[in-house]
Amino acid sequence: MDVLHHLQSIVGPENAIEGNRADKRYGSDETEDLYFPPEWVCKPACTNEVSAILSLAHELNIPVTTRGGGTGLAGGALPVKGGIVLSMERMNQILLIDEENLQVTVQPGVITEVLQDTLKARGLFYPPDPSSRGISYIGGNVSTNAGGPRAVKYGVVRDYVLNLEVVLADGSVIQTGANTLKNSTSYNLTQLMVGSEGTLGVITQIVLKLIPHPVFQLLLLVPFNNPVNACAAVSAIFKAGITPSALEFMERDAIAWSKEYLGQPPLDETDDTQAHLLIELDGFYEAPLYEDVEKINQVVQHFNAGEILFADDEATKKELWALRRHVAHAVKTNSVYKEEDTVVPRAKLPELLAKVKELGKIHGFRSVCYGHAGDGNLHVNILKDSLDEHTWSILLPKAIRQLFEYVHELGGTLSGEHGVGYVQKEYLDTVFSAAEIDLRRQIKKAFDPRGILNPNKLFPDS
Amino acid sequence: MDVLHHLQSIVGPENAIEGNRADKRYGSDETEDLYFPPEWVCKPACTNEVSAILSLAHELNIPVTTRGGGTGLAGGALPVKGGIVLSMERMNQILLIDEENLQVTVQPGVITEVLQDTLKARGLFYPPDPSSRGISYIGGNVSTNAGGPRAVKYGVVRDYVLNLEVVLADGSVIQTGANTLKNSTSYNLTQLMVGSEGTLGVITQIVLKLIPHPVFQLLLLVPFNNPVNACAAVSAIFKAGITPSALEFMERDAIAWSKEYLGQPPLDETDDTQAHLLIELDGFYEAPLYEDVEKINQVVQHFNAGEILFADDEATKKELWALRRHVAHAVKTNSVYKEEDTVVPRAKLPELLAKVKELGKIHGFRSVCYGHAGDGNLHVNILKDSLDEHTWSILLPKAIRQLFEYVHELGGTLSGEHGVGYVQKEYLDTVFSAAEIDLRRQIKKAFDPRGILNPNKLFPDS
């Protein structure tokens, strides 16, 4: 029996097809314009089917690339070695909302926003909200340790994962932990799986911690005439004892392009605003939020902030958030680009931003920067514009290498929330020593001795 | 050159001595009355010395047991295979308080409370506060993933560890991550090290996340005439949207014995109180705390609570916390005992407590239960009283096994904050499958192929 028929006998004929007959999206994600055709696309409906598929792949040494919503920005879901694309689209059930214990058990194919909306209707909050949450899967969020604007107060995905059901490379099924808030029982396999980008096992069930949903939210848009001042204000806000529920940074171009993309009137040309901070506050009582707004107002005046736009009605809040959430699409519409996901200790943001611009001058590229300033997580979008292919493909990787080396000097690293995947793996030596990479290779080998799980990812070619 | 002289050449003659000339405490910790003599006690002063010691031990296949403050309750610091006890007592410096980034870099031998007090003086907060914090080391806290009362709101140690410097078994030195709040750059070695109890490497430097220190705190002691009601009230408080900064449970005996230990007047015999909840609230604004107190008051009335003792002055707060923090010492003074560190989803606490008492009836033991109810973490103290040795050493392990199997059924596990160490390792199969244990053995092998780091710990004898 050939592989296709084997797979069809596991998931049914309609859920296993040859790659060349499958939709093109199974060979790509949101990373640049990369495309790699899979040999087979397979859509399991349950853990047992995933287990049977992996047993088969293990026996026959077939690469398996697990796929969520396909919104990754580091190429983690690309089947670069062909083989099977394991799409989790049919495993999309919210299995149990446990209001007594503030936990939810889900399958990996649930769309992040669907989960959040379902929970919110019950007064429950699952905070991590990557920009792609309208289409990304929760399983992919776990696999990349996704973040989003609210990480600054509420933490990233890994802070909410209590326990995972995982199918290992040989098809055996394990639980990584327990459904408890605390756990000191041997090695933390849960946290090892989070962010491992499908290279250690296939996540088939997820238990998430929930919290009560805050009742009040306020939003501020603060303009600055200098992006370095905006970054510096970020640390000062935290030092003043305030923990916003979001603290986002946008360069002038980021907001200007997003306005254009959304069909809004452009920024006034005479306006000398060069950057914005979008600041959200939330809580269970309203009065303290207004006191925090007053404190923030005082802090940002030390950094030459302009007039603050204050949003307490839903329409204005929605409009401001749309501006922020559409920056990435706006950049994509403007130029071919490369997105870097640098992260540093937050007070180092001004230095990081200055370095990006300095490298741009040296190597001749424009960049648009924005991101989760409260976490020190700056998305650096390098624009191709009219750069020739030689500069783009040969010189640019050198500039990126210099950027990551500098990020490492600042105590940071190359990805805050996107992952390493396929497109960042050759840069790993800018932030890790040979011993640090080798130890991770040993872990990979312990989990997946035959190397069938998402091969040619995470590690530099050796 | 013999081993002693080798070690002395690394750390100086006064900092490496033969075990039989060393203080007895280097062969024991706070776990029951266990004692294992080390062959050598060695006290390095810096990372380079740790690296040299491990290189030597690796070459000569000598067991190395790293030791913090010696306050462990699972025997993790016991040198059960002899060899070198590596005491971190001289590596006790707070290296950098980074107020801009809200981070602190410390050596592992810093006493937890010293660190907390130093930070508090600057308005900074490192929340994890195990009961032993007055003598425990931060390195030991990281190695066991310690918790404490405030975990319910602020999380456990692992939630604060950003990055670690670790000396591997062969003496090489690595960083596990970066000094950033977010990180999606390959496998999370930081979280793998946290809670690994000295079996994967020696932690020589720790970067911790800090938060602003809350300004207001209120404390309530709520009596219940039924311990199961008290446990049930815990979930109801969270469901009401309140997240206390501590939510502790104590059985009548726990509080009675602690009062006696502290020389306070005993509980009134006519008082029908059978359990207490100690509830702390904190924040940056005072008014919302009083609103939360009112909400809690309403919630607990549904569970037949008695009259609430409300503490807003420092003296009363201190007195109430002393009662809670001295329960363990009080139990120790009363009887030989075994302490179990069970943890379940918090709404399962009433069932867990009922099971403990049922097992006590079946097997003939008394127990005193208390712990971090907000986290579902119940410390079960089984008292030897006048039980004979046969019952204590043969029948009791069977009862504990039954308890852990039940805990696993409830979605829980055998240790919430103490670790597995030496005394719990034979119970591991009550909560893990063979595949789950084997995978962890493979990780151990990847880090420590010769098995020199804290041998005969964490894994059942095979």
In this complex, is the C-beta atom of B262 within 8 Å of any C-beta atom belonging to chain A?
Answer: no
Mean pLDDT, chain B, integer:
95
Q: Is the pLDDT of residue A305 over 80?
A: yes
- Among residues A236, A188, A450, A362, the alpha carbon closest in space to that of B176 is found at A188
Which residues 276-315 of chain A have a CB within 8 Å of chain B?
A: 284-285, 287-288, 291
**What does the block give as tokens for A462?**
């050796």
Contacts with B187 from chain A: Cβ below 8 Å: 192, 195-196, 200, 440, 443-444
- What rounded mean pLDDT belongs to chain A? 95
Give the gap in angstroms from C-alpha A15 to the nearest C-alpha of chain B: 29
Would the CB atoms of A182 and B417 count as touching at under 8 Å?
Answer: yes
Q: Which amino acid is at B429?
A: D
Interface check for B411 against chain A (CB to CB < 8 A): the answer is yes
Between A188, A419, A440, which is nearest B184 by CB? Answer: A419
Residue A395 banded pLDDT, cuts 50, 70, 90: confident
Calpha distance A295→A218 (Å, rounded): 14
Q: Which of A118-132, B120-134, B314-328, B433-447 has the lowest mean pLDDT?
A: B314-328
Per-residue pLDDT for A462 more than 80? Answer: no
Asked if B15 reaches chain A (Cβ–Cβ under 8 Å), the answer is no
Alpha helices in B105-155 (DSSP H): 112-120, 138-144, 151-154
Crossing angle for the helix pair A227-239 and A349-363, to the nearest 10 degrees: 160
A64 in contact with B, Cβ within 8 Å? no
Question: Minimal Cα–Cα distance from B270 to chain A, Å?
Answer: 34
A156 close to B (CB below 8 A): yes
Residue B142 near residue B148 (C-beta atoms within 8 A): no
Which of B180, B184, B243 lies closest to A345 in CB terms?
Answer: B180
Closest CA to A108 of A31, A155, A28, A43: A43
Predicted-assembly ipTM surpassing the 0.90 threshold: yes
Q: Which of A93, A100, A188 is nearest to B410 (CA)?
A: A100
**pLDDT, position A162:** 98
Residue with the bigger pLDDT between A311 and B184: it is B184
- Contact between B421 and B196 under an 8 Å Cβ cutoff? The reply is no
User: CA-nearest residue of chain B to A175?
Assistant: B436
DSSP string of A217-282, one letter each residue = EEEEEEEESSHHHHHHHHHHHHHTT---SEEEEEEHHHHHHHHHHTTPPPPPTT----EEEEEEEE
A122-132 confidence digits (pLDDT tens): 999 999 999 99
C-alpha A318: how far from its chain's center?
Answer: 21
Cα–Cα nearest to A131, from A370, A325, A369, A262? A325
The single residue listed with the structure tokens 């870099």 is: B105
Q: What element of type H or E holds A396?
A: helix A396-409
Given a contact cutoff of 8 angstroms between Cβ atoms, the answer to whether A17 and A39 are in contact is no
Q: What is the pLDDT of residue B149?
A: 95
Model pLDDT for residues B279-305, shown as the tens digit of each residue: 999 999 999 999 999 999 999 999 999
What Rg, from alpha-carbon coordinates, does chain B have?
22
Write down the pLDDT at residue B265: 87
Closest-approach residue (CA) in chain B for A345 = B180
Burial environment of residue A55 by CB neighbours within 10 A (0 to 12, 13 to 18, 19 or more): middle
Q: Do A345 and B101 touch (CB under 8 A)?
A: yes
Which runs of consecutive H residues, i.e. helices, occur in A47-195?
47-60, 112-120, 138-144, 151-154, 189-193
Tens-digit pLDDT profile for residues B264-283: 888 777 778 999 999 999 99
Whole-prediction pTM: 0.97
The residue in chain B having the minimum alpha-carbon distance to the alpha carbon of residue A422 is B186
Q: Does B56 touch chain A (CB under 8 A)?
A: no
Test B435 with A168 for CB contact under 8 angstroms: yes
CB-based contact A375 B287, cutoff 8 Å: no
Q: How confident is the model at residue A239 (pLDDT cuts 50, 70, 90)?
A: confident
Please indicate whether residue B227 or residue B109 has the higher confidence score (pLDDT): B109
Q: Is the pLDDT of residue A140 over 90?
A: yes
User: Measured between beta carbons, which residues in chain B are less than 8 angstroms from residue A159?
Assistant: 155, 159
